[in-house]
Amino acid sequence: MHSGSGIDCCHRHCVASSGGVSRFRVPSVFSFIGHPQDVGSAGGGEAAATARRRRWVPAKRKPVFIKVDQLKPGTSGHTLTVKVVDAKTVMQKGRPTAAHLRLTKIAECLVGDETGTIVFTARNEQVDLMKPGATIILRNAKIDMFKGSMRLAVDKWGRVEVAEPAVFSVKDDNNLSLVEYELVNVVEE
């Protein structure tokens, strides 16, 4: 334990460009990419410092799966396992035959788990995965607001994956997208 910081540290050894071995502390929330001897081999100066910084990346944390009824407006970073109840394409632009044009597709899909349902806005390649009855894992999902109601979405920083069929049945009577929210300004006196 690093004195006074509350950060769990471990010792790492590094071969410096001069050939000597130096010892330093690294918080255990980081993991090393590459061989420790590679850190000092980039030469001296600013280029070596940049090479050393690039080698240390935050360790990946285990995903925490949440349920649909735990979703709140304005939140992000959610990981959920849901079943697709219904999927309807609402927009399709572009010509699939034109090489320089990309086909843009948007579908609104009703997805849910044993706690409730919500509308998921699927875009482009995500639309093809959203077949009724399919079990889907949504990683790094966020809540967008559309006309005062919640919509679940996964942007370029997230992932939509088809999973093994889940054993739960979807609770249809708790649709979070039917709840209308209103933005209220609070004045402090």
Q: Are 16 and 49 within 8 A, CB to CB?
A: no
pLDDT, tens digit only, all 189 positions of the chain: 444 444 444 444 444 444 555 454 545 454 445 545 544 444 556 666 565 556 666 777 888 899 999 999 999 999 999 999 998 888 877 765 656 567 788 999 999 999 999 999 999 999 999 999 999 999 999 999 999 999 999 999 999 999 999 899 999 999 999 999 988 888 887
Q: Which CATH number fits domain 68-178: 3.40.50.720, 2.40.50.140, 3.30.70.3420, 1.10.150.120?
A: 2.40.50.140
Rounded CA separation 164/162 (Å): 7
| Extents of the domains making up the chain | 9-58, 68-178
pTM over 0.75: no
In the block, residue with structure tokens 């935050």: 58
Q: Supply 178's token pair.
A: 């039917």
Residue 123: CB atoms within 10 Å:
16
Neighbour-count burial for 29-49, b at 16+ CB within 10 Å, e otherwise: eeebeeeeeebbebeeeeebe
